[in-house]
């Protein structure tokens, strides 16, 4: 069969999520890669689903955004029909069903989803709908190895929210340093707790950035 001329371009990212006390911290690099091209250095990779659930995306931007639209609309419908907040477990089950239903022509995307129910909960989802519940941290993207190594070496139970933010930034920076497909102008950070969701300003992120270059 003759090649159509369409190439599969490598994309990449580094995203992490971790439990810090009663909070979830999600963080991601900001580079969108397209083959060997750093296509965008300020790409968004953290998304609010509800006021207590957020998600990171790795992989195809188009596929990721389509799935995120599904999640937001389903969460809203669920809350209207039941007059109650959707839980992270419920939304992650819905996401698993969406991904699994397309396993023969899969969405080229991987997600880390975190939220608050009775306490903080965090999940990884494979492109085929596999659910992996994590009790410490979750990682996705091409920068997984250096980020996971950083988390393995530094994560501890009952970290404060501020300590969790610093560690999440450190882990993403490890990916930015060692993975050529990760990078961007900074690190994006989202914090989820009983008060809701907030995205850190660049000034807040910079307080935790390494003093010299990208050294983790």
pLDDT, position 34 = 64
3-class secondary-structure state, position 167: helix
Element (H, E) at 25: strand 23-28
Q: Rounded mean pLDDT of the chain?
A: 87
**Percent share of the chain, pLDDT over 90:** 65
More confident residue, 143 or 92: 92
Residue range 17-40, pLDDT digits in tens: 999 999 999 999 988 766 666 656
Asked if residue 26 lies in contact with residue 46, where contact means CB atoms within 8 angstroms, the answer is yes
Alpha-carbon distance of 10 to 108, in angstroms, equals 11
**Interval 132-156 mean pLDDT:** 94
**Interval 148-156 mean pLDDT:** 96
Alpha-carbon distance of 127 to 141, in angstroms, equals 12
The domains of the chain, with CATH numbers, are 15-195 (3.60.20.10)
pLDDT over threshold 80, residue 84: yes
pLDDT, position 7 = 44
Which alpha helices (DSSP H) does the chain contain, by range?
Answer: 61-82, 88-101, 144-154, 161-178, 202-206
Residue range 85-112, pLDDT digits in tens: 999 999 999 999 999 998 888 888 999 9
**Active centre residues (catalytic):** 13
Would you place residue 49 in the very low, low, confident or very high pLDDT band (cuts 50, 70, 90)? very high
pLDDT, position 177 = 86
Both tokens of 172, joined, read 């993403």
């Amino acid at each position: 069969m003759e090649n159509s001329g369409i190439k599969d371009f490598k994309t990449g990212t580094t995203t992490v999520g971790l439990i810090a006390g009663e909070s979830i911290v999600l963080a991601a690099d900001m580079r969108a890669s397209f083959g060997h091209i750093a296509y965008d250095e300020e790409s968004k990779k953290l998304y609010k689903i509800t006021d207590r659930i957020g998600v990171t995306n790795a992989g195809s931007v188009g596929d990721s955004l389509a799935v995120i639209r599904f999640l937001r609309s389903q969460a809203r419908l669920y809350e209207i029909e039941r007059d109650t907040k959707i839980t992270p477990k419920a939304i992650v089950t819905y996401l698993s069903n969406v991904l699994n239903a397309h396993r023969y022509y899969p969405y080229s995307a991987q997600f880390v989803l975190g939220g608050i129910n009775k306490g903080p909960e965090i999940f990884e989802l494979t492109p085929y709908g596999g659910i992996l519940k994590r009790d410490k941290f979750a990682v996705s993207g091409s920068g997984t190895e250096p980020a996971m190594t950083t988390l393995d070496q530094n994560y501890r139970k009952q970290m404060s929210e501020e300590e969790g933010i610093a560690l999440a930034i450190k882990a993403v920076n490890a990916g930015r340093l060692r993975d050529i497909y990760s990078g961007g102008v900074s690190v994006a950070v989202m914090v989820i707790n009983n008060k809701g969701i907030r995205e850190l300003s660049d000034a807040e992120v910079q307080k935790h950035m390494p003093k010299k270059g990208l050294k983790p």
